[in-house]
Each structure stands twice: as C-alpha cells, then as structure tokens.
Amino acid sequence: MKKLLLIILMLSTSIFAKDIILSLNEAIDLALKNNSLSKISKLNLEISKAQYSQALSANYPSLNAVIYANRDKTDSIFQQRGSFSLSSDLSKTLALANTLNTNNPIPDQLQALGITTQEQYRNFLANQPSSTFPEGSISADLNSRAKGRDTIRGQIEFNYPIYTGGKISSIIEQARLNKNIKQQAIIREQSSIVFDVRRYFYAYILTNEFSKVVEVIYKNMKFSTDLAKVFLEEGSDLKINKTDYLNAKLTTSLIQSTLVKIELNKKMLEGAIANLVGLKYNDSLKIKYNKQNILKQNSSLQKLIKKAYSLNPDMNTLNIALKVKNEQIKEAKSNNYPMVNLFGNISHTYNSYEYGYLNKDAQNSWSIGVALKLSLFDGFRTKNHIEEKNLDKKVVEEQVILLENALALQIKNEFIKSTIGFKQIEILSDAVETASENSRMNFKGFQYEMVEAKDLIQSQLVEVYIKLDRLKYIHDYLISLATIDKLIGTKINEKF
C-alpha cells in the first residue's frame, strides 16, 4: 500500500510539473508578476488611493440622519417655588373673578346694603376704584409635568465647512503626495527585483560559459592523458616518463572535479532564479541566452548622475516628502485663521406626554446657522507646532543633500568600474584568441610527438585562466551596468 501511494505521489508530481525555458527579459517579467513584496507594495498603493479619496470627502457637505430614543426613570417635572406680587388693579380683577363662583358668600355688610346676588356683588366691585383694593401677594408654588418619560426624535443634520484657513486643502494634498510615495515604493521594489534577476542571470551565464570552456579542456586533457599512456607504454620520440603521465592524469582529474562543481553551481543558480521568479519546487527551469557583442557604456557620468537625481525612487521619495512637509506647515498655520462652518438640522420629536415643552406644536422644528471659531490664545501651541514642522522640513532637506552626494559617489564608482572593465574585456579578447591558438597548437603538437606533456598542460591551463578572467570581467561589467540601472531607476542597453 505504501509503495502504491509513493508511486501515485511521484506520478502526480511529474504530471503537474512544468518545463519552463526563460530568457532574461522573460525572467524579469515573471518575477515582477509573481513577487510577493511587489504585490504588497501594490496593495499599499491601493490603500493610499483610498485614503486620498477619503480626504477628498472633506470638500463636500456632510448629511447625517440621527434617530434618538430613550426612556427616563419618571416623567420630567417642572418645579416652581415663590410668590406673585399683586397690584391694586390685579387685586380688583381677582375679586371680580371670584364673583363668577356662585358659591362664594357675599359679605354681611354688603347684604345690609341690599346686595344679595352675585351679579349685584360684581357690579358693586366693578364700580369701586382700584385704590380701594389693597396690594398683596399669592403663592407661586407649582409642580407641573414638563415632558413624558418616553422620547423618540428623528433628525437630519447638515454641516459644510465654508473656510478652514487652508487646512482641508493641505490635508488633501498630503494624501495625494502619500499616494505618490507609495508609487515610488513600487518602483523601488521592482528595481530591486530586476537587479536580483539580472544578478543571478549573469552569474548563471558566467558559470555556464565557464563550464563550456572547462568541458572542452577536459576532453582535450582526457584525450592527451590517454595518448600519453600509449606513448609511455609503447615508447615515443618525446621520451615521456611516468611522472609526465601522472601529472597529466592528475591535471585531468582536477579539471573533471572542477567541472562537477561548476555543474552543481549551475543547478543551484537555476534553483535560485526559479525561486526568484515564483516557480514551484518541482518545475524544471532552463535558461536561454544569446551571446552577443558587449556594448560600451555610452553615457557620460554627468548625464547618469542627472538622470539619477530625477528618476531614482529614493530621491523622488525625499522630494515628495519635502512637499509633504510644506503642506504640513500650511496645515499648522491654518490654526491662526478662523474656521467658518455652515450648519442646519430638521427634526421631528415624539413624546409620551402630549403637552409640556414637547407638545404637538413643538414636534417639528428646524434650524440653520453659521459658526465661526477663532483661536485667540492657545499657550503658544500653534507657534511651536509650526516651528516643529519647519525643523522637520530642514531635516528632510539635509537628507536630500546626503542622498545626492551618496548617489553621485555610488554611480561614479560603478561608472569607473564599468569603464575599466570594458577596457579589460577588449584587452582579454585578444589574449583569449592568442591563448586558444597556443593551446590548439600544443594539443596538435603533442599528438604528433612534437610537444612535451608539461607544455601541453601549461597551455591548456593558461587558456582556461584567460577565458575565465575575461568571463569574470564581462560578468562584473554587466553587474556594474545593472547597479547603475538600479541607482538611476531606468535600464541601460547591454547585450551578452
């Protein structure tokens, strides 16, 4: 059963595995597509875009619907305590009002005058002057229900900032600039990915080309060793002794060992590239490239530095950060100006008590107004806040200067390395032809018993050394160009 499961696992792995052949540009495109850090940077950009849209909302009025419902422990009771002062006129009016009650008794002295009915009594009081009524007071103690315990209110609120001293515009601009900073982060991340792919790719090319050189030399040395054995056993004009044969055999074994190590390095580099471009562990990767002439760096140092100042993502990030600091200064200064806000609301209220101050006439209401707020004194907080933002801006300005100097120095170093490297490539190209011709002549001479074994071995090793040296300079030259590209933020044309 275990064997069957193992066979099924091996078959499924082989079925879903892919054979992929990639060129440098294809590897770069695939790495940019699959790299997780690049995806995270793009998500951060989407977040900053959402934040920018959120900041833009401050330009529009806000309209909110509010529903408010509550129940109090008891009804709200209005309590009043004290007394009302009565003038003579008011005392007369109250006396007349009392005559409306037919149950009120008529004073005896008035009955003696023939006043026996309430109407007669009222007419008598009405004909009396107000001065005959004394001034006085009555109690004003009062308990009345103000509103019921249950209240429900629906309200629509409107707010619109008319003037904020530039605060809203600066906040919106900061959000827009933050979006640009996230875009520079994507460029920086992609530039690093491209550099890593090129670095591994060039290392693979160096290793693969070196492998071809060593393989040819190994075949020559293997053939020469076998031939030396024949010469040793059968005799020849070269008078080869056993020491010459053993030296040739040892050299051949060392070259074979080197070839095995090179093949291992190639496999490791293929795995590193596969991981970088996002392939699965069981995918088979093959690297393809065309050998072409190496192009000379045709830009001047001044042009490269000028490009870096305008395209380098770190430089652009700092320049954008300077603009952000300017907007933060404007935002801090806005506290010195008044803030003007237009507001209004429409509401409908229900209360469990139909009278009181929430009666039917007061159920529906609206209001509109303008509010102005101006800070007169805040303990110098605004002044110090502005000073803080000005100092923050100076820090960024110093960082810009440092980065400019660092970029110029790094580009200069890589430019010098690439210039010297290209000259070395040209010089070694002639040396490679000479070494190859010398090795070839020694190899043929040995076959015809005209060259000694030590001269053959030396010519073969010299050819390997010079070709490897040239390949290394080509690799270093391309890496220098890739580094300049990364520092600038663009791509320089080169071929290999």
What pTM did the predictor assign?
A: 0.73
Indicate whether 224 belongs to any domain. Answer: yes
Q: Are residues 130 and 241 in the same domain?
A: no
Residues 453 and 332 placed together within one structural domain of the fold: yes
Q: What is the CATH number of the domain that holds 55?
A: 1.20.1600.10
Give domain status of residue 2, yes or no. no
Q: Are residues 348 and 461 in the same domain?
A: no
Question: Does 234 share its domain with 95?
Answer: no
Distance in angstroms (rounded) separating the CA atoms of residues 475 and 453: 33
Say yes or no: 401 and 312 in one domain: yes
In the structure, what pLDDT confidence band is assigned to residue 388 with cuts at 50, 70 and 90?
very high
pLDDT of residue 23: 87
Say if residue 54 is in the same domain as residue 66. Answer: no
Q: What is the dihedral of CA 178, 183, 185, 189, to 10 degrees?
A: 170
The whole-number pLDDT of residue 392 equals 94
Give the domain extent around 344.
62-77+149-163+340-373
> Which of 138, 141, 134, 142 shows the shortest CA–CA distance to 85?
138
- Whether residue 86 is found in the same domain as residue 223: no
The strand ranges marked E within 263-398 are 284-287, 339-351, 364-373
Residue with the bigger pLDDT between 297 and 392: it is 392
CATH number at residue 359: 2.20.200
Q: Give exposure, 234-272, as e/b (b: 16+ Cβ within 10 Å).
A: eeeebebeeebbebbbebbeebeebbeebeebbeebbeb
pLDDT digits (tens, 9 = 90+) for 311-335: 999 999 999 999 999 999 999 999 9
Quickly state the pLDDT bin for 237 (edges 50, 70, 90). Answer: low
How many structural domains are present in the chain? 3
Greater pLDDT, 297 or 21: 21
Same domain as 225, residue 178: yes
173 with 97, same domain? no
Instruction: For residues 176 and 235, state if they share a domain.
Output: yes
How far apart CA 155 and CA 345 sit, in angstroms, is 7
181 and 306 co-located in one domain: yes
- pLDDT per residue over 265-309, tens digit each? 989 998 888 888 888 877 888 888 887 767 777 788 999 999 999
User: What is the model's pLDDT at position 491?
Assistant: 54
Residue 8 lies in a domain: no
Last residue of a domain, one of 328, 350, 373: 373
- Partners of 83 in the β-ladder: 139
Q: Is residue 1 part of a domain?
A: no
Average pLDDT over residues 130-151: 81
Residue 272 sits in the same domain as residue 369: no
pLDDT at 367: 92
Residue 124 pLDDT greater than 90, yes or no: no
* 264 lies in some domain: yes
Residue 489 has pLDDT above 60, yes or no: yes
**In terms of Cα–Cα distance, which of 352, 348, 349 is closest to 147?**
352
State yes or no: pLDDT of 14 exceeds 50: no
Q: How confident is the model at residue 496 (pLDDT cuts 50, 70, 90)?
A: very low
